[in-house]
Structure 1
C-alpha cells in the first residue's frame, strides 16, 4: 500500500510602497500539483526593501520501513544591496535537518516549480475496517515568496508561507494500517535572475567547551568564492538582577578579492545589540575558540560570553563580549590553505520565566 501526497508551493510577489513598515504584495504565484491536507501557516516577509536571493530546505532522510515525510520546510535567505538581512520561514514542520543554503550567483529568486509524488492508495492491502480512514504525517511546503519591481519580469522573492501538518485520524495508527508508506517527495527548483549555485565545504571547525542547551540553526554560507575576513557579535549588556544572556549571535563579514560581498549569520538569538565588526588586518578567519560559562545550577546561566579568531596571516582578533566564564581550547585550523566560509550556531529558545542563555555553541566550515 502506498500513500503519496501532493504538496503546494505558492510564490507571493510583494511590492513595497512609500515608507510603510509592513510590506504589501501585488501578486500570488501558484502551481497546480499541490496537496489538499493541512492549513496555511502565517505569511512571513523579508525585511523592508530586502529580497530572497536563495533558500534552504528542511528534509527528513529516508526512513526505511518507517514513515517518510521528505521536505518539511523552506527557509528564504534575504538580502538588501548585497547585505544579508536575515532569513524567513513559515511553519517549518517537525522532522529532518536543514540543508545548506543555495543562492543565486547574483540577483534574486523570481520563479519556481515542484517535483511531487502523486497520491495513490492501493485497495488490496488496506484493511476493510479502514478503507475510508487513512492517515498521513505530512508538512506541505506551500509558499516561497517574492516581491516585485516593475511588473513580473522584475519580481524578486521576499516571502515564505508553508502548509502545516495535515493529519487525518492520527498518523501514529498509520503503520498498523499500511504495509509501506511513501509520503512526499518535493524538490523546489527556484529560477533566479541568474544561475542558482550551491557552495561546497570540506572541513568543519568545532570546540569542546560549547554549552548543551538549545538547537542548531541553519548552516549559512558566504557567497561563492567569498570568505569571512571578520565578524561582529550580538551582545546583551549586563542586566543587574535580571536574567543575563551575554552573547546571542555571531555574524560573519564576507569578502572576495578585498571587496565586501555581504554578511551571514545563523540563528542570531533575541536580545542585545550588534557590536561593531572586527576584521583581520589581512587574510581571512581560519580558527577560533570560545569563552563559555559552565552551568551555574540554580543561578543565572549565560553560556557563550566571547569568541576569538586566528587570521590566515597570523593576527588574532577577540570579540567584545561579556566577562563570565573561561576560555576553552582552540579549534582545528582550516587546513590546505582553506578559510572560514560558513557558520552554524546553537541557540536556546526563549524560556519565558525560566533562565535564558541564547547562544550556546558555534561551528564554522572551511572552503578553499
Structure 2
C-alpha cells in the first residue's frame, strides 16, 4: 500500500509538472531557452511595435514585464524567481547591482550600433567604459507649470516653489531623492550629500515648503496638469513633455541652481538564460531608426546621436528637454548612498509627507 501511495504521489507530481510546463509553453508560443527573451522595464517605456519587430527579425519571443520603482525591480531580480534577460535600472541602482555582483559584463563586439551613442553619455562614473550598461533614455528633474495660473513665476529658481503666493498649489512626486533633492539644490548642496548638518538644513527647508504643497502623488499629476486642474508640479522631463504635448499652454523649467541629470540604462542580469538574445536586443534598440521611433513614442530624451537626425527638429532643438552642455554642467547624477543614508533620506521624506495637512 505504501508503495502504491508513493507511486500515486509521484504520478501526481509529474502530471502537475507537465501541466506547468505546458502552461509555460503556451504562454511563450511553444518556445524555450534561447528562443525567449524576458525583459523587465518601466511601464510605458518602449514602443510595443518595436518588440514585435524584434520578434519578427530574430524569431525570439519576448516576454515583457514592468516595474514602478528601481527598488522594486532590484528586489525582484535578487529574489531570482524570474530569469530576466534584460532590465532597465537607473544609474545609482547600477552601482548597487555591481556591488552585489548581479550583472553580466557586456560583449561590445556584439554591439556594433554602440557607435550611435553620443560620447557625452558614455564612460560615466557609475559604470566606467560601459562594461555593464548601455544608455537607454536620459532627462532632468524640473518644474512643469501653467503660466496662466502662476502669473509671473517662471521657476528659474527653486525658491519660487517656496513663495507664499503658491500656497496649496504645488504637487510633488512621491519619491524621496527628488523631493529631498529640491531642498538640497535650493541650499547649494550636493544631491548625494551624506553630511548630517546639510541634511538637517534640507529637512528644515522642506518644512518651510509644506504649506505650499497640495499633495505628494504619482502619475495622477499628468492628468491634473493636462486638464488645468493643477498649476505647478515637480516632475521628470519626459512626463513634462507628455503633458505639454496634451496641453500646449504648459511649460517646463530646470532651475538655475541645478537639478538631477538621470540616466536609465539597459543591463543583462545574471539571471539571464539568453545572453546572446539579450545582446541582439540591445543592438537592435541601438539602431538609429529603432531609437528614433522609441524616443518619439516614449517622449524622453534619447542619447542616440544617430537617431536625432531622424527625429523632428522642433523636438531635438527644444532645450527644455535637450539642454545644452553648458546647462548640463549644473546638473548632478545620483550616486548610490549606501543603505544607511538611503534610510536617512527616506525617513526625512516620510516625516515631510506626514507634516502636510
Structure 2 length-normalised TM: 0.22
- Greater relative CO (CA pairs within 8 A, separation 6+): 2
Structure 1 length-normalised TM: 0.21
**Bigger fraction of residues in strand:** 1
